[in-house]
């Protein structure tokens, strides 16, 4: 009843102002219920990022060979470089729900019956397009691997960024390295968006079985990745700007074991990883614009923000913590094809916990990669 009286008073003010000789600016408030719906959707999407980002980071430097051989003493020395194209499945329903609530917020101010001019002016004020339930986050990285000296180990490094901005790096400030990728805008997949993704990684593998004609190669190892990124969508309908953005930072430590076996030109491989991560996310939305009606200006404006980290379901975040209680186990497998010094490989990786719910396989987290390497 109180809301009905408030709305009636607001429209009465509009009617009176329209009859005056001077135009007035009339601000339309955004209900707390809609703010809560948007926040719930963005928090759910942030929760998906907390597991998807570490998964994507581990797909940046996957080699078919469990061990590439020594750099020295060896002839030829063993090393290689290449490029990897990967993709990680992301559940977008949280972001989609937030967008739906955002688009419908203006309906709070449009009566079921009454002034059609008000309805026409406010209808379609926000339109984020067709956000899919599932989105595959693409990654492209360069990587290198070099054999160890004397001991049977190898070391790999990888790097990926969506939009290089190398001039932003200050060599006297190591922290500035995380600023060397700038956001990239796109209009695809049914919506306007922006994406920024940077990851740097290093890993070491120790050969415990060198293999042979019958036996496979077996290695154990560990790695570290640091990743930062952001994802945003926007709407610009008749002078009203609306935006939703989410950014994340994650550090991943993992241990792994891999086995591979070469058969003629093919190298079949598989392995397991256990990940722990320190991940934080933050989100924000805003809307601002003016619609003319009856000689007056309806001002639509509002904003909100929140954050979430890996060891809590709260919408507030203070300090990042390593989530040792939430180990992410992974299984991965693939096949590589060898042509002289060239090797192409295909691999898939699955988050084991997400496949435990047999009634909800569509929510399961998986990723894949295609790699092309030159190796000696």
Those residues with Cβ within 8 angstroms of residue 197's Cβ, 6 or more apart along the chain or in another chain: 137, 139, 160, 161, 162, 181, 227, 228, 229
Cβ contacts of 74 within 8 Å, gap of 6 or more? 147
pLDDT tens by residue, 21-79: 456 777 777 778 888 999 999 999 988 888 888 888 888 889 999 999 999 999 889 99
Q: 3-class SS at 262?
A: strand
Q: Between vectors from CA 152 to CA 149 and to CA 157, what angle results, nearest 5°?
A: 70
Question: Cα–Cα distance between 56 and 290 in angstroms, integer?
Answer: 41
Q: Please report which confidence band the pLDDT of residue 82 belongs to, taking 50, 70 and 90 as the band edges.
A: very high
Question: CA-CA distance, 64 to 62, in Å (whole number)?
Answer: 7
Q: What letter would DSSP give residue 194?
A: E
Domain ranges across the chain? 2-375
pLDDT at 111 over 70: no
Q: Encode pLDDT of 141-160 as tens digits.
A: 899 999 999 999 999 999 88
**Has this prediction a pTM greater than 0.85?**
no
């Amino acid at each position: 009843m109180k809301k009905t009286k408030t709305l009636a008073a607001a429209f009465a003010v509009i009617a009176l102002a329209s009859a005056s000789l001077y135009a007035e600016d009339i601000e339309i408030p955004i209900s707390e219920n809609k703010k809560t719906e948007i926040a719930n959707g963005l928090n759910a999407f942030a929760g998906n990022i907390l597991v998807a980002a570490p998964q994507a980071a581990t797909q940046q430097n996957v080699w078919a060979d469990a061990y590439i051989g020594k750099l020295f003493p060896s002839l030829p020395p063993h090393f290689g470089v290449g490029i990897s194209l990967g993709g990680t499945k992301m559940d977008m329903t949280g972001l989609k729900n937030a967008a739906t609530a955002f688009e419908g917020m203006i309906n709070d101010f449009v009566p079921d019956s009454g002034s059609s001019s008000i309805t026409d002016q406010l209808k379609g004020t926000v339109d984020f397009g067709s956000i899919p339930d599932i989105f595959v986050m693409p990654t492209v990285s360069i990587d290198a691997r070099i054999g160890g000296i004397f001991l049977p180990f190898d070391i790999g490094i990888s790097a990926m960024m969506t939009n290089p901005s190398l001039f932003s790096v200050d060599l006297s400030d190591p922290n500035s390295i995380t600023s060397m990728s700038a956001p990239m805008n796109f209009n695809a997949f049914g919506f306007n968006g922006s994406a920024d993704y940077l990851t740097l990684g290093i890993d070491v593998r120790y050969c415990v079985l060198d293999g042979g004609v019958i036996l496979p190669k077996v290695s154990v190892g560990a790695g570290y990745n640091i990743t930062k990124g952001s994802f945003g969508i926007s709407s610009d309908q008749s002078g009203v700007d609306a935006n939703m953005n989410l950014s994340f930072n994650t550090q991943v430590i993992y241990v792994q074991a891999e086995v591979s076996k070469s058969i003629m030109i093919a190298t079949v491989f598989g392995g397991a990883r256990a990940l722990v991560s320190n991940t934080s996310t933050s989100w924000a939305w805003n809307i601002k614009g003016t619609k003319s009606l009856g000689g007056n200006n309806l001002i639509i404006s509002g904003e909100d923000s929140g954050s979430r980290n890996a060891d809590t379901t709260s919408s507030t975040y203070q300090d990042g913590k390593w989530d040792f209680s939430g180990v992410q186990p992974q299984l991965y497998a693939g096949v590589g094809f060898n042509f002289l010094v060239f090797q192409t490989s295909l691999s898939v990786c699955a988050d084991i916990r997400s496949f435990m719910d047999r009634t909800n396989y569509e929510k399961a987290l998986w990723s894949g990669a295609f790699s092309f390497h030159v190796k000696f």
